[in-house]
Homo-oligomer: A and B are copies of this chain.
Amino acid sequence: MQDVPSLVAAAREGRPRAVARLISLVEGASPQLREVMAALAPLTGGAYVVGLTGSPGVGKSTTTSALVGAFRRQGRRVGVLAVDPSSPFSGGALLGDRVRMSDHASDPGVYIRSMATRGHLGGLARAAPQAVRVLDAAGCDVVLVETVGVGQSEVEIASQADTSVVLLAPGMGDGIQAAKAGILEIGDVYVVNKADREGADATARELNHMLGLGEARGPGDWRPPVVRTVAARGEGIDEVVEALEKHRAWMEGRGVLAARRRARAAREVETLAVMALRERIGDLGGDRRLDALADRIVSGDLDPYGAADFLVEALADG
C-alpha cells in the first residue's frame, strides 16, 4: 500500500483508486486516520456541498443522477456520497467498493461513493463529514450527499451541507410527514419530484403554505423555493441547479456560507470529542464500575440518571 502523502497526491490528480482508499481509511478507525485528516486539512474548502434528503420512493437517486449530469455539462467535477440503504448506489457499500451509476460510470469527472448505514450509532455522523473532506480535497467542485430522510442521523448529515435539498413526491402524505420529521426546518431548496403525477400541485401548494407559516422573514432573508421536477426525464433539473446557485450566492453575500461551515466544523469537533470521551468511559469502567452500576439498575436499587452521575464523577476524578 502507498504511504499517505502519495495517496493524497494521487487523489489530487483525480485517481479514483486513491480517493477510494482514502475514504476507506477515514471511514474505519485505521492507524493512518489522523495522518490522512491532517494531510487533507489544507486542501479542503473548495467544494460546494449539497445535501439531498427525502423518504424512500421520492426519486432521490434519479434526481442525484440528473444533477450530476447538469453539473458535468458545466464542466464541474462532481462527487457523490450516497448514505441511503434504499439507494441502488449503496449496493457498493455492501461490496465495499466503488459503485457504478450507469450514466456516469465511465466519466472520470464523477466520483461516486456509498456508505452503509449499519454499525454504531453515531458512526455515520462521524464518518460522513470525513468522506466529504476527501472528495473536497480530491478536487470535486460539487459534492452531493444523498441520504434517506427517515433516521435522525441521516437528517443530521443532510443538514450539515452548505445547501440542503429536501425531496418530496405527490401522494405520499409527505406534507404531514414533513412536519413530523422536522424537515421543514432543514431545507434550503424543496423539490417536488414526479411532478407529472396527480397531486403534485397540492403537494407544492401545501409545502409553500407550510413554509410560509414559519417565523416572519426579513427583507434579505432566504425563502426556500419549491421546484417541480420529473427527474427521470430531466425536467426541472436546470431550475434546481439555478436554485442552488442562487442559494449559494445568497449565502456568500451574507456571510452565511462561512458561518455554516464554522458551525459544521464545530459540530464535527464536538462529535469527535464526545466519541473520545465515550472511549475514555469504556476504559474507565473496565467495565467493573459500569457493570456494578448496571446491576444496581436491574435490581431497581438505582435509576440510570443516578448511575450516570456516579460515572461522570468518576471520570472527573480521573
Contacts and interface: CB of A to CB of B under 8 A. Distances in A.
A180 B262 contact: no
A45 B308 CA distance: 19
Contact of A124 (B152, B176, B307): B152
18 contacts: A41-B303, A45-B300, A55-B56, A56-B56, A85-B177, A117-B152, A118-B181, A121-B153, A150-B150, A151-B152, A263-B294, A265-B293, A268-B297, A269-B297, A272-B308, A273-B311, A276-B308, A276-B312
B294 A93 contact: no
B153 A153 contact: yes
Contacts of A180: 85, 90, 93-94, 116-118
Interface of A: 33-34, 37-38, 40-45, 55-56, 85-86, 90-91, 93-94, 116-125, 129-130, 148, 150-154, 156, 176-177, 179-182, 258, 261-263, 265-266, 268-270, 272-278, 280-282, 285, 287, 290-291, 293-295, 297-309, 311-312, 315
B41 A302 contact: yes
A269 B290 contact: yes
Contacts of A93: 180
Copies per complex of this chain = 2
B294 A119 contact: no
Contacts of A33: 305
A119 B297 contact: no
Nearest to A117: B152
A261 B298 contact: yes
The residue in A94, A177, A273, A300 that gathers the most chain B C-beta atoms within 10 A of its C-beta is A273
Contacts of A43: 300
A138 to B, nearest CB: 15
B148 A150 contact: yes
Nearest to A282: B270
A303 B37 contact: yes
Given A177-B85, A306-B38, A262 B294 contact: yes
Contacts of A311: 269-270, 273
Given A119-B152, A151-B152, 10 more contacts: A41-B301, A45-B300, A85-B180, A117-B152, A123-B152, A265-B294, A265-B304, A266-B285, A269-B290, A269-B307
Nearest to A267: B294
Nearest to A316: B318
A302 B265 CA distance: 10
A280 B308 CA distance: 14
A179 B272 contact: no
A263 B56 CA distance: 33
A303 B152 contact: no
Contact of A272 (B181, B300, B302, B304): B304
B281 A266 contact: no
A156 to B, nearest CB: 5
